[in-house]
Amino acid sequence: MTREDNTKNEKTQSDKKTNILSGLIKKKENSADVFKDGSVSVKNANLWYGDFQALKDVSLEIPDRKVTAFIGPSGCGKSTLLKCLNRMNDLIEGCRIEGRFEVGGTDIYKSADVNLLRKNVGMVFQKPNLFPMSIYDNICYGPRTHGIRKKSELDEIVERSLKEAAMWDEAKNRLSKSALGMSGGQQQRLCIARALAVRPKVLLLDEPTSALDPISTGKIEELTSELKKELTVIIVTHNMQQATRIADKTAFFLLGELIEYSDTEELFINPEDPRTERYITGKFG
């Protein structure tokens, strides 16, 4: 096989992939001009809630299509930073933000429409927050928001999103039933499916398993490893084992500062900073 053949082969393969994920193409055409890819860059981020400084000069680069974990004790600023990335902090009164935040090379606080940003940077919260509607309507909420009305298209999106969230088998026979009748773990995976339905480039997970049992937690962890093939996953977690299990890169925060940020293995086996070492060995936190 010549080298040319090889590249050609790769190309057809990738073509096939994009065809399967037809929605992905659509999204790329839509917002390719705004968000290039799922890489995230934060430069000199400072954030205050009133007088309290929650983030102190944080800078980090998060690679496209990898799982990145934010760890650290409560109140260290990891969730705050996460919420900066889809501008959910805008909702909080008295919150002041400085610094440059980029998603796919675009400054999200200057040039991007906040709703378009949130479409591209999805979020799943600590507690499942499904709407009091049917499963089907929950998944369709995002696509409908962004202008998709055709039943056939919506059906396709629902099936695909549920399959991607590994929920299809559990949910396919009760799509028209209220989503609130599902168990906690199922609800959280439905939340992930709902976020996936708008084809985001980045998915933010804010302690998604803290309210779940070990089996449901395992399912969501498996899911993140699948998801990173398509998008960037950033997960805030209190559970260090979870970070080692699923994250490619890990960032350790303490009192609003980014203490250490490197490949997960490196950070856990060979931490550079003594504070990181003390935290991961359980000396404080």
Q: Which one among 21, 24, 133, 255 touches other proteins, defined by CB under 8 A? A: 133
Q: Is 214 among the residues that bind other proteins (CB under 8 A)?
A: no
Q: How far apart are CA 11 and CA 16, in angstroms?
A: 9
What DSSP element (H or E) covers 152? helix 151-164
By C-beta, is 171 or 259 nearer to other proteins?
Answer: 171
Q: List the structure tokens of 126.
A: 């600590």
C-alpha to C-alpha distances, 123 to 10, 207, 274, 280, 284, nearest whole angstrom: 32, 11, 32, 26, 29
Tell me the closest approach of the beta carbon of residue 145 to other proteins, in angstroms: 4
Nearest in space to 192 (alpha carbons), one of 156, 215, 217:
217
Write the CB contacts of 251 (distance below 8 Å, at least 6 apart in sequence): 60, 68, 69, 70, 71, 78, 258, 260, 261
Q: How far apart are CA 263 and CA 270, in angstroms?
A: 10
Q: Which one among 6, 145, 183, 241 touches other proteins, defined by CB under 8 A? A: 145
By C-beta, is 122 or 271 nearer to other proteins?
Answer: 122
Tell me the closest approach of the beta carbon of residue 269 to other proteins, in angstroms: 35
CA torsion sign for 150, 228, 237, 188 is: positive
Number of residues located near other proteins, criterion CB under 8 A: 42
C-alpha to C-alpha distances, 6 to 13, 17, 20, 126, nearest whole angstrom: 11, 17, 21, 45
By C-beta, is 170 or 257 nearer to other proteins?
Answer: 170
Q: Is 93 among the residues that bind other proteins (CB under 8 A)?
A: yes
Q: List the structure tokens of 155.
A: 């059906």
Tell me the closest approach of the beta carbon of residue 209 to other proteins, in angstroms: 16
By C-beta, is 78 or 194 nearer to other proteins?
Answer: 194
Tell me the closest approach of the beta carbon of residue 56 to other proteins, in angstroms: 25
Write the CB contacts of 32 (distance below 8 Å, at least 6 apart in sequence): none
Site stretch for other proteins (CB under 8 A), options 9-17, 175-183, 215-223, 228-236:
175-183
Q: In degrees, to the nearest 5, what angle opens at C-alpha 211 toward C-alphas 50 and 125? A: 50
By C-beta, is 81 or 148 nearer to other proteins?
Answer: 148
By C-beta, is 182 or 246 nearer to other proteins?
Answer: 182
Q: How far apart are CA 28 and CA 144, in angstroms?
A: 18
Q: Which one among 77, 142, 185, 271 touches other proteins, defined by CB under 8 A? A: 142
Q: Is 88 among the residues that bind other proteins (CB under 8 A)?
A: yes
Tell me the closest approach of the beta carbon of residue 31 to other proteins, in angstroms: 10
Q: Is 150 among the residues that bind other proteins (CB under 8 A)?
A: yes
Touching other proteins, residues 112-131 (CB under 8 A)? 113, 115-120, 122-123, 125, 127, 129-131
Q: How far apart are CA 245 and CA 63, in angstroms?
A: 18
By C-beta, is 195 or 280 nearer to other proteins?
Answer: 195
Which residue ranges make up the site for other proteins (CB under 8 A)? Answer: 22, 25-26, 29-30, 86, 88, 91, 93, 113, 115-120, 122-123, 125, 127, 129-133, 141-142, 145-148, 150, 153, 177-181, 191, 194-195, 198
